[in-house]
Structure 1
Amino acid sequence: MRALGATAANAWQVSAEAVSLLRPARPARPITLAASPQRLTLDLARTALVVIDMQNDFCHPAGWLAGIGVDIAPARTPIAPLRTLLPVLREASVPVVWVNWGNRPDRLNLPPGVLHVYDPTGEGRGLGARLPGQDGGVLEAASWNAAIVEELSPPPGDITVAKYRMSGFWDTELDSILRNLRVDTLLFAGVNVDQCVFCTLTDAACLGYDVVLLEDCAATTSPGFCAQATVYNVRQCFGFTTRSTDLLAGIAA
Structure 2
Amino acid sequence: MCNPPTQYADPVDPALPKASLTLDLSRTALVVIDPQIDFMSPEGRSWGVVGESVTEQNLVPNLVRLFEAAKQAGITVAISPHYYFPHDHTWKVQGPAEMFQHAVGMFDRPGALTLDGFRGSGADFMPELKPYIEDGKTIICSTHKLYGPQSNDVVLQLRKQRVDQVILAGMAANLCVESHLRDLLEQGFEVAVVRDAVAGPKLPEGDGYHAALVNFRYIANALWDTDETVRRLTESAVVPA
What's the TM-score, normalizing by structure 2?
Answer: 0.74
- More relative contact order in 1 or in 2 (CA 8 Å, sep 6+)? 2
Structure 1 residue aligned with 2:87: 106
Moved more, 73-82 or 91-100: 73-82
- Segment of structure 1 superposing worse, 179-188 or 40-49: 40-49
Structure 2: distance between partners of 1:54 and 1:107: 20
Residue 97 (1) aligns with residue 74 (2): no
Give yes or no for the alignment of 1:146 onto 2:123. yes
Q: Deviations over 1:171-193 (max 9, x none)?
A: 21111111101101111101111
Deviation at 1:235, TM superposition (A): 2.6
Q: Deviations over 1:78-115 (max 9, x none)?
A: 2111212212211211111111112223227x743347
The answer to which of 172-181 and 231-240 deviates more is 231-240
From 21, 32, 53, the equivalent of 1:74 is 53
Matches of residues 1-253 of structure 1 in structure 2 within 5 Å?
37-66=18-47, 69-70=48-49, 72-75=51-54, 77-107=58-88, 111-114=91-94, 116-119=96-99, 124-126=103-105, 142=115, 143=118, 144-153=121-130, 154=133, 155-161=135-141, 162-167=143-148, 169-222=149-202, 225-253=207-235
* 1:152-209 deviation line (CA, Å, top 9, x unaligned): 1112211112211111x22211111111011011111011111110011101101111
Give the direction of change, closer, same or farther, for the CA distance of 1:111–1:207 in structure 2 (3 Å limit): farther
Q: Residues 111 and 238 from structure 1, CA distance in 2 versus in 1: closer, same or farther, beyond 3 angstroms?
A: farther
- Secondary structure in structure 2 of the residue aligned to 1:113: coil
Identity of aligned residues (%): 24
Change in 2 beyond 3 A, CA 1:59/1:250: closer
Distance in 2 separating the partners of 1:151 and 1:128: 18
Q: Which amino acid aligns with 1:196?
A: C
SS of 1:175 mapped into structure 2:
helix
Higher strand share: 1
Aligned length: 206
The unaligned stretches of length 5 or more in structure 2 are: 1-16, 236-241
- Structure whose alpha-carbon radius of gyration is higher: 1
C-alpha RMSD of matched pairs (Å):
2.9
Secondary structure of residue in 2 paired with 1:149: coil
| Structure 1: 5+ residue stretches without partners | 1-35, 130-135
Q: Given residue 227 of structure 2, which amino acid in structure 1 is its aligned partner?
A: T
The alpha-carbon deviation at position 58 of structure 1 amounts to 1.4
Whole-Å Cα distance in 2 between the matches of residues 245 and 101 of structure 1? 27
- Runs of 4 or more, structure 1, over 3 Å off, are 110-116, 124-129, 223-226
Contact 2:66 2:226 in 1 (8 A): yes
Instruction: Compute the TM-score of the two structures, normalised by the length of structure 1.
Output: 0.71
Distance 1:89 1:213, change over 3 A: same
Amino acid at match of 1:89: A
Change beyond 3 A, Cα 1:211–1:79:
same
- Tell me, in whole angstroms, the C-alpha distance in 2 between the residues paired with 1:181 and 1:199: 22
1:18 corresponds in structure 2 to: none
